[in-house]
Structure 1
Amino acid sequence: MAALLWGQSLVANADLPDFTPLVEEASPAVVNISTRQKVPERAMAGQPGLPDLEGLPPMFREFFERSIPQAPRRPERQREAQSLGSGFIISPDGYIMTNNHVVADADEIIVRLSDRSELEAKLVGADPRSDVALLKVDGKNLPTVRLGKSEDLKVGEWVLAIGSPFGFDHSVTAGIVSAKGRSLPSDSYVPFIQTDVAINPGNSGGPLFNLEGEVVGINSQIFTRSGGFMGLSFAIPIDVAMQVADQLKAGGKVTRGWLGVVIQEVNKDLAESFGLDKPAGALVAQVMEGGPADKGGLQVGDVILALNGEPIIMSADLPHLVGGLKPGEKAVLDVVRDGSRKKLDVTIGTLPEEGQELTASGEAVERSNNRLGVTVVELTAEQKKGLDLKGGVVVKEVLDGPAAMIGLRPGDVITHLNNQAIDSTSTFNKVAQDLPKNRSVSMRVLRQGRASFITFKLAE
């Protein structure tokens, strides 16, 4: 009996894959990525980066003097390089794929190759929505990975990850594909590959291989309650990642399709009330006025069951299917309305860029992503008429930063910045991004019908 069991064990072991050829072939193209980031001291009164008290009008000076403590100036610090993640080389001339969160806000990106040599990398472009970033180093005849097709993956097949968990370069872990097409709450535009491959901090941005030695995903996230691996790892499908990388390489940004609806899940009770046989599809809870869905005839209460023939099983299936379409492309929606099925033809729009939001009318308004720390939106026609203005932007939100320190409030209207007229949010953001450092800058603000100029300085 013991001999029989021993023989069965040998047969079982003989069926397990041998990963050594794969690791030997692929490891040279896997890199460690670290960054350096300048961390300025929190701005204090009397330092560059704070407004000039003498330049403040009375309505702002009281706020400033009450809110900002006096403190001696301290020099700017620079954080030391630290191992943050992994990446992999996709071309002999030095293009590298990784996660956006690995290199976000970095002032300097260092790539360490398998031979321990280090190269400084340039950020070609990054896409926060998919968490994909494309880097470039100067190199020739660099080792590269082979790219596969993530759509060909099957649940249950073996996969392998190579990365730098906790800074341990070229660590190898293996497992199986647990599920495909997973949608996570914070990532609507990626149908993740779920695996049980051990992924830990530092693996982010590293490749996920199939048994053919082809990259089928980028390891991106884990589900954890302890901070460590718990058996649930998520990878960005390489098909999705390469679509993003191609757009980043061509233009530095990613354009996605947009439908202009707010959707929710269809549960059993909702399915019954809408005359569905089972819970499925995406229930339209809101249609953006003037958006693609509105123009295509979609209505609140419609249940979207398919897009171009692709079934919508869960509501989360819809965003990444729409996002994969090109703006201007025609799409056919299968919907249920009042218990009857019908088809709607819709022309896909352009998803607002990261840093923009939508008004109730479906119009995109740009959120300021600049050193002032303020969100601004366009003035409406009524506001311009009531204030007798031809241009300007209105403050919607004040975040931490110089804007808060000079006392800006939601509802303030900014008409001039650094002696330049502000006619739109895009003009405001461009001028704000190009503001000089350590020199007085003026801003004209209109509050409750009264205009005042403020001066302030930005730190080095």
Structure 2
Amino acid sequence: MQRITRQLSLWLMLVVAAFAVQSAQARDLPDFTELVKQAAPGVVNISTTQEVQRRSMGPWGGQGQQDVPEIFRHFFGDQIPFGPRGGGNGGGTEERHSLGSGFIISQDGYIMTNAHVVDGADKIVVRLNDRRELKAKLVGEDKKTDVALLKVDAKDLPTLNIGDSDDLEVGEWVAAIGSPFGFDHSVTAGIVSAIDRTLPTDAYVPFIQTDVAINPGNSGGPLFNLDGKVVGINSQIFTRSGGFMGLSFAIPINVAMDIADQLKATGHVSRGWLGVVIQPVSRDLAESFGLKNQRGALIADVADDSPAAKAGLKAGDVILAVDGEEVDQSSKLPRLIGKVSPGETVKLDVLRNGKQMTQKVTVGDWPEEALQQASDDGAQDPQTRLGVAVRDLSDDELGRLGLDHGVRIVQVDPTGAAAEAGIQSGDIIVSLDQKPVESATQLAKAIEGVTQDRAVPVRLYRDGHSLFVALRLGKAE
């Protein structure tokens, strides 16, 4: 009996200890109640109305929801048509409504949200926490960073405290307040999963990645740290289903506030521009350019009459730093240059032909035009060691393409060195190992001259743009 009593006592002690550990762990978890009480009044619901041509297709252009590809996606609310105007089969117009979120940044009525929430809207209505509905006007938007600034006619509005997104650390607790699927002031929480993320179509935003549950309607809403300060604007999710899958992305508030200040002052955004096409430095490219590790932004092309061209930058240069700040990956360069005011001069640390140099560049203003060119086809002698067949380009072809020299690839051996490097049929080889290629004969001689089994940089022209690949040739026979 005593033995049973001792065992029971031991078991009870273990249970009590387990509960004590759980209670301690629970006490260590963050409590968001005070944050929500203080911040909720400054978060708003945004609804928009847009008049569009009536059509019979579904919201995905005729595709079912299950057919939507795996994408990074802006996540504003479902757009629903109301009341076709004009009648007829497929004629007239209809109203499309969408929902999003935003937050108040000044007592006199300035509100921040995402540009895609209000893009193309004919009418914008802001609903406050006290259920007031106010018409808003669009002060300005910047689609490159997905930031928009609205203004409502009101005074003494509750505002949110703006934090410093540069102080965020991975693993830090954060919370979001927004209107997913129209459910006002929904609160979700999680941690910062990563910082300084680059998404495929957003070169100017170093996104904050979180695992905070975000869904359609959260767009434009604030992301808070534990101090109740706004550190980001919820903007995108990565999804296969159209809903939350654990990968959410927010625009850092430091980036957003800079944009908002410019929109408030001038109605538009000015950002620095170099006029270069860049690409990442792969391991093989790093070796071919004499870099000890993968870093920097490789210039694949320089636009005519651009700030980079005027400063003497060339294709094949690797930009390693901007005003002393290291470019550890190519995606960082547009951000560093983009935040420089047009007309200012920056110092670039550049690697050229294996030697490091400093180049001063007066940054220009971003032009809206993009470079575009075309392509052609044909045939000539195969370069067996490279694994391609090429042909010379006529003066007319070079003129149409805007090139001074190069040879066109018309066939690629799928097992050859060129295919392994990513070279494709239709590409134009402009240079090999930093030397211009002016004819098929010259290319053959240049390949013969590469006697070592090493990576050499090859500059290509493809679909109107230049890029470099690292080509590793086998030993010459």
TM-score > 0.5 by shorter chain: yes
**Once the 2 structures are TM-superposed, how far is the Cα of residue 280 of structure 1 from its aligned partner?**
1.0
Aligned to 2:312: 297
Following superposition of structure 1 onto structure 2, how do residues 113-128 of structure 1 map, counting pairs within 5 Å?
113-128=128-143
Secondary structure at 2:287's aligned position in 1? helix
Are 2:44 and 1:28 aligned? Answer: no
Q: Cα deviations across residues 16-55 of structure 1 (Å, max 9, x unaligned)?
A: 111000000000110111111112347xxxxxxxxxxxxx
1:19 and 1:194 map into 2 onto residues whose CA distance is 20
Gaps of 5+ in 2: 1-13, 56-86, 374-477
Following superposition of structure 1 onto structure 2, how do residues 316-335 of structure 1 map, counting pairs within 5 Å?
316-335=331-350
Gaps of 5+ in 1: 43-70, 361-460
2:92 aligned to which of 76, 91, 98: 76
Say if 1:182 and 1:191, in contact at 8 Å, map to a contact too: yes
Are 2:324 and 1:309 aligned? Answer: yes
Are 2:258 and 1:258 aligned? Answer: no
1:335 and 1:250 map into 2 onto residues whose CA distance is 35
TM-score between the two structures when normalised by the length of structure 2: 0.67
Say if 2:49 and 2:98, in contact at 8 Å, map to a contact too: no
Are 2:150 and 1:150 aligned? Answer: no
Amino acid at match of 2:367: P
Aligned to 2:21: 8
TM-score between the two structures when normalised by the length of structure 1: 0.69
Q: Cα deviations across residues 234-268 of structure 1 (Å, max 9, x unaligned)?
A: 10111110111111111111000001100011111
Say if 1:32 and 1:83, in contact at 8 Å, map to a contact too: no
1:107 and 1:75 map into 2 onto residues whose CA distance is 20
Q: Cα deviations across residues 128-186 of structure 1 (Å, max 9, x unaligned)?
A: 10000000011011111110111111111111100000111000001111111111111
2:372 and 2:216 map into 1 onto residues whose CA distance is 37
Q: Cα deviations across residues 52-80 of structure 1 (Å, max 9, x unaligned)?
A: xxxxxxxxxxxxxxxxxxx9698733415
Aligned to 1:372: none
1:83 and 1:113 map into 2 onto residues whose CA distance is 17
Are 2:195 and 1:180 aligned? Answer: yes
**Once the 2 structures are TM-superposed, how far is the Cα of residue 4 of structure 1 from its aligned partner?**
2.4
Quickly say closer, same or farther: Cα 1:169–1:83, change in 2 above 3 A: farther
Secondary structure at 2:346's aligned position in 1? strand
Amino acid at match of 1:99: N
2:263 and 2:275 map into 1 onto residues whose CA distance is 24
Give the RMSD, CA atoms, in angstroms.
1.8
Are 2:309 and 1:277 aligned? Answer: no
Q: Cα deviations across residues 263-288 of structure 1 (Å, max 9, x unaligned)?
A: 01111111111111111111110011
Secondary structure at 2:145's aligned position in 1? coil
Quickly say closer, same or farther: Cα 1:72–1:4, change in 2 above 3 A: closer
Q: Cα deviations across residues 56-106 of structure 1 (Å, max 9, x unaligned)?
A: xxxxxxxxxxxxxxx9698733415x3421000111111000000000000
1:39 and 1:166 map into 2 onto residues whose CA distance is 22
Amino acid at match of 2:93: R
Amino acid at match of 1:18: D
Aligned to 1:381: none
2:152 aligned to which of 137, 143, 147: 137
Following superposition of structure 1 onto structure 2, how do residues 329-344 of structure 1 map, counting pairs within 5 Å?
329-344=344-359
Q: Cα deviations across residues 263-322 of structure 1 (Å, max 9, x unaligned)?
A: 011111111111111111111100112211111121111111111111111111111111
Amino acid at match of 1:197: V
2:18 and 2:349 map into 1 onto residues whose CA distance is 56
User: Which segments of structure 1 move beyond 6 Å, counting only runs of 4 or more?
Assistant: 71-75
Following superposition of structure 1 onto structure 2, how do residues 390-429 of structure 1 map, counting pairs within 5 Å?
none
Amino acid at match of 2:362: T
Aligned length: 330
Q: Cα deviations across residues 432-457 of structure 1 (Å, max 9, x unaligned)?
A: xxxxxxxxxxxxxxxxxxxxxxxxxx
Aligned to 1:160: 175
Aligned to 1:99: 114
Aligned to 1:52: none
Aligned to 1:288: 303
